[in-house]
Amino acid sequence: MALSNRDRARLSLGLQAGIFIAVVAVLIAIIDWGAVQSSFFDLENISGMFPEVITVGLWNTIRYTFFGFLFGLIGGTLLALMRIASFPVYRWVAAVYIEFFRGIPAILVFIALGFGASLAFNLNLSTLQTASTALAIVGSAYIAETIRAGLQAVPKGQMEAARALGMPAWRAMVTIQIPQAFRIVLPPLTNEAILLTKDSSLIFVVGMAGSAAELTKIGRDGILQYGAGMTPLVVAGVCYLLITVPLSMLARRMEERSPGKSSRRRPKKKATESPVTAGVK
């Protein structure tokens, strides 16, 4: 006898709920919750980390990421323009840069910059400079591809209309194509900022003074300070979420109302005709 669709849906829901309850019950039974709490959620450790985890750690993470993203955005835009330039050497240089830095682990860039800059260029970079430069170098490679895709997603007719009006190529690029491309790439760029926020933790391989410590360093120092418990890492992790979750919500909201989604379609409701229109006929 065949089940109706509704019965089948109800059965499926019941089955899923049953499995869930069973798994939760098993977890409750086998896990030593006291041990978990003392190693991951030790209240004394948590209160001991404030306010430094916010005033130093979160603040430095935001600073390093902000400048890394800002310079990455500038570099990425330049690379994207090089990538679509008519002069072939620009295209090749940009392509090699992008492939190279997207292809290697970001941590290599942090190490090379953190230990190599003083050797090779006799530069003494601060932690802020090292972290944001490394993030900019890596980020610009990813951002360049995002922006190139955005520029190419602007309909060809936009550039043609601008040129047909007599705008020089650079002017059409600056006033017509780039502003539209930015609207298209805003959601993926926000995701890029999330990735950079997490990558800023890589600066810990270089080491830094206490006042320059970002979240991961604060978390690791906390572990050494308080003993074997992992609570400081949990606190640091929650602080990362304070940055990344709002960014990710922002990206999703922008995606939902992105211009490309609605403007291609005809508006459903016709704009009201002005009274003057009648005179035109």
Partner 1 sequence: MSADTAAIPAGVVIENLRKSYGDNEVLKGISVTVDPGEVVCLIGASGSGKSTLLRCVNRLEDPNSGRIRVGEFEVTHPDVNLDAMRRKIGMVFQQFNLFPHLSVLENCTITPRRVLNQDRAEAETEALHQLQLVGLEDLADRRPAQLSGGQQQRVAIARALTMKPSLMLFDEPTSALDPETVGDVLAIMRDLAQAGMTMIVVTHEMGFAREVADRVVFMDQGKVVEEGAAEQVIGAPTAPRTQDFLRRVLNPLGE
Contact set with partner 1 (CB under 8 A): 155, 157-158, 160-168, 171, 175-176, 179-180, 183, 259, 262-263, 266-267, 270-271, 273-277, 279-281
Contact 117, 128 (CB under 8 A): no
**Least distance CB 178 / partner 1 (angstroms):** 10
* Helix/strand/coil percent split, the chain, to 5: 80, 0, 20
Half-sphere CA count of 210, side-chain side, radius 13 A: 3
**Least distance CB 89 / partner 1 (angstroms):** 24
**Least distance CB 152 / partner 1 (angstroms):** 16
DSSP string, 99-130: HHHHHS-HHHHHHHHHHHHHHHH-----HHHH
CB-nearer residue toward partner 1: 32 or 273: 273
**Least distance CB 140 / partner 1 (angstroms):** 25
CB-nearer residue toward partner 1: 28 or 276: 276
**Least distance CB 258 / partner 1 (angstroms):** 12
**Least distance CB 90 / partner 1 (angstroms):** 22
CB-nearer residue toward partner 1: 162 or 243: 162
Alpha helices (H) along 122-214: 127-153, 156-164, 169-172, 178-199
CB-nearer residue toward partner 1: 169 or 241: 169
- The letter for the amino acid at 52 is E
CB-nearer residue toward partner 1: 55 or 175: 175
CA distance 200 to 29: 39
Q: What angle do CA 122, 123, 128 make, to 5 degrees?
A: 160
Q: What angle do CA 262, 266, 269 make, to 5 degrees?
A: 95
CB-nearer residue toward partner 1: 162 or 213: 162
